[in-house]
Amino acid sequence: MAPQPIFFHVDVNNAFLSWEAIYRQTVLGESEDIRFLDAIICGDISKRHGVVLAKSMSAKRYGVKTGEPVVDAIKKCPNLKCFEPHMHYYHERSADLMEIFEKYAPVVEQCSVDEAFLDMTGTERMYGDMATFAHKLKDEIRDTLGFTVNIGISNNRLLAKMASDFEKPDRVHTLFPNEIEEKMWPLPVEDLFFVGKSTAVKLHSLGIHTIGDIAACDPSVLQSHFKSHGVVIYEFANGIDNTLGSRGDEEQKGYGNSTTISYDVRLAEDAYAIIRRLCEKVCARLRADEVQATVLSVEIKDSNFAVHRHQRSLLSPTDVTAECYKTACELFDELWDGAPIRLLGVTANKVTDSGMRQLNLFDMDTHDKMKNLDKALDSIRNKYGDGAITRGKL
């Protein structure tokens, strides 16, 4: 029999603040631990990057929130100490963390600088009880690297991620399917992965207040109010993970571009313009390598740093900007819950040779024209620079 899938989701507790504290003590030689001060990690207050990236527990008690402007945080906490991030150091600590993971896990799927999924399937014979081993792993990270993590354990990535968000810091939690009713369903809808502020407000207006309420709801009702996003949150509420798949070899073959925006995007029209530019960059790279994509995905990071992704298989492989743009906008409309956006990304995956396109009756008249237009634009930009010619809407 095949072994039962086992996943760990490991998340660094307050990563930027923890790593900055270690940096200031070990590199700068400071004696004070900023984790115990009214402190935040933030960007340049004179620019858009002057937002709260991380906060100490004492600053949190004043009502300071991640993602809010620094000027607002200072009003709440007059004695607040502000520290700019040292990202190069954070990446070094992240690399140290991944090195520990790779000692034990057959597959390490890094999600961001401070979190990863570990596919531990089949390792019980080596490590014994998974919860006991997770405690040992957590303690090793704390004792050797100087910061703490939470570890969530389950049979799929979604439930492992939900478990890692339970009580913090320095904790191990399980959330297996038979524990969903007890541990997850009583939680408020806001705690469910993929439920942002706007979605939560709308759910409350429908009389849906807990994750259990979502799980018990007719999925067609959710779909009527939230489109495909309603189906996703229904599945998530029932512990079904059809979205957080492996980000392994197939995604590494992808072509992606993303941008952190200099203001919070609140209008779909503004997002469309940014998506168009990202599609132009992605498709230009596809054409340069003479490949076409069969899957397109869109990523949104909102003002609270929550990341959402949505993907779709294309009807035919393509490297045409207009075709990718149309699909990307559809994915965006299905994914976006109205929350202010600080980052947008577009990725083309599962590439194939450009000569392998299958004829498609729906675009026979337009595909060749659009492809020739893209080639002309590529030629002009390659010769005179990216700014030589720009679409009117940009």
| Catalytic sites, residue numbers | 115
Token couple for 253: 């073959």
**What is the number of residues in the chain?**
394
Token couple for 308: 């959402």
Residue whose C-alpha is closest to residue 303's, from 158, 233, 198, 189: 198
Strands of the 172-174 sheet, one edge to the other: 107-112, 115-119, 7-12, 149-154, 172-174
Q: How would you label 366-375 residue by residue, b for 16+ Cβ within 10 Å and e otherwise?
A: ebeeebeebe
Q: Which residues pair with 109 in a beta bridge?
A: 117
Cβ neighbours of residue 276 closer than 8 Å, sequence gap 6 or more: 321, 325, 391, 393, 394
Query: Is 340 within 8 Å of 298 (Cβ atoms)?
Result: no
Q: What's 387's DSSP letter? A: G
Query: Is 200 within 8 Å of 342 (Cβ atoms)?
Result: no
User: What distances in angstroms separate CA 286 from CA 4, 176, 186, 349, one per listed residue?
Assistant: 39, 41, 46, 10
- The strand ranges marked E within 70-210 are 81-83, 107-112, 115-119, 149-154, 172-174
How many whole angstroms separate alpha carbon 283 and alpha carbon 232? 28
How many whole angstroms separate alpha carbon 276 and alpha carbon 326? 9
